[in-house]
Structure 1
Amino acid sequence: MHALLNFKQRVTDSSGVLSSWTIEVDCCDWKGVMCSNITSRVTGISLPCSTTLPIYSDGEDKLHCLTGSIHLSLLLVELEFLDYLNLKNNDFLALQFDYLHNRNCHNLSIPTSSHSQCINSSTLRHLDLSLNWNLAINNLKWLPYISSLEYLNLRAIDLSKESNWLQLVTMLPSLSFLNMRACRLKDLSLSLQYANFTKLEFLSLSANEFNSELPKWLFNLSSTIYTLDLSSSSLIGHLPKDLLNLRELEDLIMEDNNFDGPIPDWLGDFEHLETLVLGVNNFSGSIPTNLGNLSTLTTLDVASNPLTGVVSEKNFAKLSKLKELDIYSFHVNL
């Protein structure tokens, strides 16, 4: 209870989202608090903010959302059984993380706090800070201290000052879900051969500013990856055949980049592909008939590419599950 009240004291709650957080009520009955049925220990905090979609030029109304600072290390120390933390779509402005240490702590070499405890990070598996539009995080050096993370969503967090993001994220051995869409990332670490993602299933690096070809480490990801979203990230070059290394891919989303050359016919060799989105690029030539072998495909988007040639039944020979097909060409006459 005291740990949660410390969290409440450090945030600004103008609309009373945390009004139920009082000592008169069992903290397991507070809004957004989850407890173990067996131990009654706090295991989760879920306080996403609900907002309406912006109308025309108006932005989202977040006046009723939580704001202020997230004292993440304090939560991890005081709530030692915390497994789930969801602060999505609020209006937090800063994240604070003190590196707690003592002689018995290993690999915690940055003493910036007077606390004598280690960060007990062995339980936190789910961390969602996404859509806090005004939150800028200067570095991610704190991430490896939460080595238990399986789900990490930092969508729309400003990470433009962190150039070493990839190496730090790969220090999370259990990570299966990673969303870093619209984080203002610029470095794809082209010189890196391998990224140590052994359990990754979902990866979104869309809406960033890479201005580069696809990196080699991408083709050496674990074969368990099912979704790869690299849309709207200013990527260039041809699609390399090494993408076939990701044999279990179900969703390949590459729209709104600057890829060129022909649409590769080897894309038809994926056995589990359900979504293939290549629209708004510079692919040329015809739609390869080999795509007709994608018997599991439900969505095919090759629209707004300078394609030529003939589309016939061969293109759709085995696409019995296809529900959405986009092959239109969009022209603007000035």
Structure 2
Amino acid sequence: MAKLSVTSPLMILWSVFFFFHLATTPATCSNNKTDLQALLAFKNAINGGLSSWNATLHYCNWKGILCSRRHQSRVVSINLRSQGLVGSISPHIGNLSFLRTIILQNNSFHGQIPEEIGRLRRLQKIEFSNNSFSGEIPRNLSQCRNLYYLNMIDNDLTGIIIPEIGSLIKLKALGLSINNLSDNYFNGVLPASLSNASLLEELYMHSNNFTGQILKDFSRLSSLRFVDLSSNHLEGDISFISSMINCTSLEALLLSKNLLSGSLPDSISNLSTQLSFLAIDYSQLHGTIPSGIGNLIGLNRLSIANNYLEGPIPSLIALATVLTC
């Protein structure tokens, strides 16, 4: 009995500690100092906000954080969409080596996107749209070989579309619209290496400062469904459109408000029958509208206004097509 009475206080203290530990640490999460320190550095680079990121909860339970079930305590997702956050991204983001998704859409992040993001080899999705990021697109982003979704629409990015982006062979969606990107004077607006991203389905580049020529050969980008290069200063012959015949899933091709010239090639009639929206208005096209354009049976909106086109409107254009000319 005496022995029990001596050890009881220690047993009580251990029980209290064990109970508290269970209450604050989920059974599926252990501690990982690298990920914890990276998240704290991320928080410190933000001006206020993220008050829920504190020691009262294990970081796997912090708002917007998802940890792996297989690799306990390793952060695989950060989702902080529309949280009113103001600040920059800490370079320590590169230490979250298990990160697969980062969504910061619709906040007020600014400054450059740190080069360290290229260390995230497991990264699959980057959603940075509607912020104020500046500077150039990090060149070593090409190291994120598993990236399939990259959206940086509506920021203040400058510089060129890096040729290294062609190394992202799993890329399916690329959004760089509404920035201050300019030309790649060596390879045109779209680097030739982009054709290596043969899985690319969505390409959004509208409202930048491009003044060069469009990539002339789209034949290897056969998975394209949506292309928007409108509202730039693109120039060159419209004949490049012939190289899109292999894009058999193409649904929308928007080239409005550029300086494209030449005449519409007859091969336009061989574009995807799934094409529903074709816009080449406010350019410098001349000649006639090819009669074969009526073969595009899925076309329900054709916008070719404010060009130098002449001649009759082909009778085979479906009555359901909204024609702006």
TM-score per shorter chain, which class? Answer: 0.7 to 0.9
* Change beyond 3 A, Cα 1:169–1:148: same
Quote the Cα distance in structure 2 between the aligned partners of 1:256 and 1:12. Answer: 39
Question: Cα offset for 1:254?
Answer: 0.6
- Structure 1 contact 228–252 (Cα < 8 Å) conserved: yes
Give the structure 1 partner of residue 295 of structure 2.
293
Instruction: Letter of the 2:197 partner, please give it.
Output: F
Identity of aligned residues (%): 30
- 1:252 counterpart = 2:253: yes
TM-score for both structures, normalised by structure 2: 0.76
Question: Cα offset for 1:139?
Answer: 5.1
- Say which of 58, 67, 84 aligns to 2:86: 67
Give the structure 1 partner of residue 122 of structure 2.
123
> Structure 2: which 5+ residue stretches go unaligned?
1-35
Quote the Cα distance in structure 2 between the aligned partners of 1:36 and 1:213. Answer: 45
Quote the Cα distance in structure 1 between the aligned partners of 2:173 and 2:140. Answer: 18
> Which of the pair is proportionally richer in helix?
2
Give the structure 2 partner of residue 113 of structure 1.
none
When structure 1 is superposed on structure 2, of 80-89 and 196-205 the one drifting more is 196-205
- Structure 2 contact 236–260 (Cα < 8 Å) conserved: yes
- Say which of 137, 146, 149 aligns to 1:151: 149
- 1:76 counterpart = 2:94: yes
* Change beyond 3 A, Cα 1:99–1:129: closer
Higher gyration radius (CA): 2
- Structure 1 contact 97–142 (Cα < 8 Å) conserved: no
TM-score for both structures, normalised by structure 1: 0.74
Give the structure 1 partner of residue 51 of structure 2.
19
Instruction: Letter of the 2:225 partner, please give it.
Output: Y
**Deviation beyond 6 Å, 4+ runs, structure 1:** none
Can you list the C-alpha shifts for 1:224-260, whole angstroms capped at 9, x where unaligned?
2222211112112321123334343222111111223
Quote the Cα distance in structure 2 between the aligned partners of 1:153 and 1:262. Answer: 33
- 1:252-331 counterparts in 2 under 5 A? 252-271=253-272, 272-311=274-313, 313-316=315-318, 322=320, 325-328=322-325
- 3-state SS of the aligned residue for 1:70? coil
- Supply the RMSD in Å over aligned alpha carbons: 2.7
The count of corresponding residues between Structure 1 and Structure 2 is: 282
Instruction: Letter of the 1:31 partner, please give it.
Output: K
- Structure 1 contact 288–315 (Cα < 8 Å) conserved: no
- Structure 2 contact 94–116 (Cα < 8 Å) conserved: no
Give the structure 2 partner of residue 57 of structure 1.
none
When structure 1 is superposed on structure 2, of 223-232 and 299-308 the one drifting more is 299-308
Quote the Cα distance in structure 1 between the aligned partners of 2:69 and 2:187. Answer: 47
Can you list the C-alpha shifts for 1:158-214, whole angstroms capped at 9, x where unaligned?
332x34x33121122322211111332222443765542232221122222222232
Quote the Cα distance in structure 2 between the aligned partners of 1:95 and 1:292. Answer: 48
